[in-house]
Amino acid sequence: MSIQKQLLKLILAMVVLATFFAALQSYQQSDRELERIFDNQLAQFTHTLVALTHNKSPIEDNQHVFQIRYADGRLVQSQALIKAAKRLPRPFQAHTKQSQSQHFDKPQLEHSEASQFSEAGFWGQRWRLYEKHNDAYSVLVAEPIQQRIDASENLLLSSILPIVLTIPVIGLFIFYIIQKSVQPVADLGMALKQKSHRDLSPLNTEQVPQELQLVTDKVNDLMTRLDSAFDREKRLTANIAHELRTPISVLTITSHNLLQQIKTTHISESQLLELKAQVARMAQVVEQIIALSRYTPEHFEQSLTAVDLTALLQELIGQRYEQIADNEQDISLNADNITVLGEQFALTTLFDNLLKNAIKYAGKGQTIMMQTVAAPSGFIGIEVSDSGPGVKPETLAKLTTPFYRDDTNKHQAKGSGLGLAIVQHIVTLLNGELKIAQSALGGLGVTIYLPVVKPEQASQGAKI
């Protein structure tokens, strides 16, 4: 159902009903006023009639039927009653008997006069009657009601006709106003209809009315998010294909060589280690890809809580301590009672990636430090640094690019190139900031700035 048609029907119906009730009210008031005027005219006609007949003046009136009996016994009737003397209408028969029974010659203590209006039917139509009695005469005058009905109908027609003729004009005006008002909605629908399934560009909001601003903003936000999701999916698919090609190729060659070596029973340990390393690398790539795809704005906004970051870092160090000991590395944690606004699993993934990178790339016998640093107001800064070889300054900006790896150091361990990309992604979702630079220890330093938890949020102990 069209909104324009619904509004047009509704408003026209309201206008017609309002006009009808206004006209009905006006007609009823006018009809009562007209009735009062006709009754006054009938009473005035009766007074004039009595005065004329008293002076014995000739009376010619074909619209009224009357009967007057004076105190001296004289009877004056209209021509219609004279012609119907043997079959007088019942009201006039009653008036004749009543006037004959009155004794006008008796002395009256005081002057008395009575009058009344009534209705009766005779001679095939309805009549309005006016009857008046006093000491000098008794009179009954009848007037056809049809005259009043005709006058009332003429009044109704003259009152209603202009309104009826105006309604189409009002309808056209209302149609124009509604069309102009809903045109932005139609334009929005047409703009969406004309978009192809590949066009995710934002809608033009320059001439959008205030009532539709929220709709267009939400649609544009959805378009932007979809565009980002599709772009992320395309890049992720391309990078996955690129990154899995090498380990799969190596696995294929290694498995082929192993099959050949089985026949000669000359399987070397290096071949098995290579196979294990490629399997581990593929598992790491898959694990990192799953972690990266897990954290999206759609699933992240409603899961923020107050997280004890100190306990989380202690737990991560405990989980990785065997690996740290194998590399003969020293690690220290200088962070007491830190609580941040975040998501438990996301923060675990974030700092676990930083810790794994530090263990992997710092090298044997190096130092790893996790500590709080100065941060802007409303944030807490956590730095993860090491005393390893670090990276070249021109390479720092590329480290958060998905699947990017620094290949300048041939002796350095190889990774999937997704660790810092996942860290950057999670930091962005947490409304934080990531900073990568050379650390004071000489190696790489990664600083994470995260929002602090307000006192009221910490006391709630629930989702924010």
Same domain, 137 and 277: no
What pLDDT band is residue 382 in, cutting at 50, 70 and 90?
very high
Better-scored residue on pLDDT, 379 or 259: 379
- How buried is 56 (Cβ within 10 angstroms: 0-12 exposed, 13-18 middle, 19+ buried)? exposed
* Average pLDDT of the residues in 36-45: 92
| Total count of domains within the chain | 3
* Average pLDDT of the residues in 345-350: 84
369 three-state secondary structure: strand
Same domain, 255 and 339: no
With CA atoms as reference, report the closest residue to 69 among 2, 154, 133. Answer: 133
Q: In the predicted model, is pLDDT for residue 370 greater than 90?
A: yes
User: Whole-number mean pLDDT of the chain?
Assistant: 79
For the chain, what is the largest distance between any 2 Cα atoms, rounded to a whole number of angstroms? 162
pLDDT tens digit sequence for 412-462: 455 555 678 878 888 888 889 999 888 888 889 999 999 887 665 555 544
Same domain, 377 and 272: no
What pLDDT band is residue 410 in, cutting at 50, 70 and 90?
very low
- Enclosing domain of residue 311: 302-460
Better-scored residue on pLDDT, 133 or 304: 133
What pLDDT band is residue 106 in, cutting at 50, 70 and 90?
very low
Percent of all residues in the chain with a pLDDT value above 90, rounded to a whole number: 16
Is residue 371 within 8 Å of residue 333, measured between CB atoms?
Answer: yes
CATH number, residue 243: 1.10.287
pLDDT tens digit sequence for 194-250: 887 778 888 777 777 777 888 888 888 888 888 877 776 776 676 566 556 666 777
- Residue 228: C-alpha distances to residues 194, 215, 298 (Å): 21, 20, 12
216 found inside a domain:
no
Is residue 70 within 8 Å of residue 140, measured between CB atoms?
Answer: no
CATH number, residue 359: 3.30.565.10
Most confident of 42-51, 296-305, 404-413: 42-51
Last residue of a domain, one of 260, 292, 324: 292
User: What's 66's DSSP letter?
Assistant: E
Q: What is the pLDDT of residue 411?
A: 43
Q: What is the pLDDT of residue 141?
A: 93
196 found inside a domain:
no
Q: What is the pLDDT of residue 435?
A: 92
Burial 186-218 (b: 16+ CB within 10 A, else e): eebeeeeeeeeeeebeebeeeebeeeeeeebee
| Full-model pTM | 0.47
